[in-house]
A and B are shown apart, each in its own frame.
Chain A
Amino acid sequence: MYDEELYGMHLQELRRGTVVLACLIILKEPNYGYALLDQLERSGFAVDANTLYPLLRRLEKQGLLASDWNTDEARPRKFYRTSDDGHALADALTADWTDLNTAFRSLRGE
């Protein structure tokens, strides 16, 4: 039987990149850093805060996310939302994910 550490390592490899797609999908509705972190965790895409916050800025720099400061509440928050490019990329990646799933199923003879 494989050990837990080995499983964790391969799982991490397998999941690398899924957080990006999850963010692009969730942020079709504008949201801010901590709420997104919380939602990702509840949806089963656990990610560290120190990974997510820089990632959001990177995706913004790549033009996949847009952001606005919301100063209506006492605590100003930076709201991110998926841009048009981000939408298109999310659709393409989702199609790839579906293809992968189909490919795995056919490999397993289902």
Chain B
Amino acid sequence: MTAPTPSLTERYVEATLRRLPERQRADIERELRASIDDAVEARVEAGEDPAEAERAVLTGLGDPARLAAGYADRPLHLIGPDLFLPYTRLLTALIAIVVPIVATIAGIARAVDGDVGQVIGDIITAAITTGVNVAFWTTLLFAILERLPSVRASVIRDWTLDQLPEPPKRRRRHADLIAETVMMVLFAAFVLLTPVLRFKTDASGGPIGVLSPWLWDTGVVYLFLVLALVGLSFNYVKLHVRWSAPLAVAGAVVNLAASGVLLWVARTDRLINPAFRAAVDWPAEVWEWLPVGVTIGVAISAVMVVVELVRGFITRSWERADFGETIREATQRIPGVK
């Protein structure tokens, strides 16, 4: 060919060689050129047009990157089947531990001086940033491991029966559930009775409710109690129904919704009856710190809910949040730690 533009074959061979180590190039180039020429020649001899034959042969060889990966013995996947389970286990464990901790710290740090919107914003931002970082670095680590055969072999451990998930501790969960139910009944009774309890009385001797009448006027108090009740019912359901992703997510959403309602009410100063506040004459700090306390409590409970949800996804069973156990299991999953 006399034209200055390189032929299709030139370009194809170049595209393949570019992806190969220097020391392999010369030999593969010679062989690949000969193989392409042989194949084109055979087609031309069979009566095909030379240009058509070249196109057909190169098309048959396929993507040069794939061919080069074959020559260089490089995997055409990021993380292969041998490493996939160690990878997903470590990733879920790290996300379950690191993301809630960082998000809680970010939330608490902001709760000292921010309003509820800023707290939620900071928690979400911290959770996303941390999650993305954890996912990226873990993926990068395993993609590198996949390409280092000597190190790879040491990461892959044979499965043993010891790794079977523990059977559910039914008895303990029954006791927990009864305690939760008793607490729920007492709590609901207290909330519903506050308007008539005579902690403080007004001038005419009538009771001053601790909680803001706004909660009753708008029905928010009933919304909160219903959400809490539904959350509790979920715990009963869990005892009798096998773990499933939609049910687990629904349970977590109900729990988080109840927490969210409480947080919103506290941070917008609609929790305590202004008349009660005036009547008791407690120091101003009590009322300033009440929303902060509620925020911290809600944050901790939200972290527990999320950890429990993620643990459920890892073990495919109804797991109660248990930080000690989660951390112990996670460290076992880090490659090389026994």
Contacts and interface: CB of A to CB of B under 8 A. Distances in A.
Interface of A: 32-35, 37-38, 48-51, 53-55, 57-58, 69, 75-78
Nearest to A49: B61
Contact of A53 (B31, B37, B42): B31
Contacts, number: 56
Given A49-B60, A49-B61, A76-B30, A54 B39 contact: no
Nearest to B33: A75
Interface residues of B, number: 19
B30 A53 contact: no
Interface of B: 27-28, 30-32, 34-35, 37-39, 42, 60-62, 66-67, 70-71, 73
B71 A75 contact: no
A58 B73 contact: yes
Given A48-B60, A48-B62, A50-B62, A75 B70 contact: no
B71 A33 contact: no
A94 to B, nearest CB: 26
A33 B67 contact: no
Q: Is the interface of A mostly helix, strand, loop or mixed?
A: helix
Contacts of A77: 31, 34, 38
A35 B37 CA distance: 12
A28 B268 CA distance: 86
A33 B31 contact: yes
Contacts of A37: 35, 39
Contacts of B32: 53
B35 A51 contact: no
A35 B35 CA distance: 9
B31 A50 contact: no
B234 to A, nearest CB: 42
Given A48-B60, A48-B62, A58-B73, A53 B67 contact: yes
A77 B34 CA distance: 6
A34 B39 contact: yes
B75 to A, nearest CB: 13
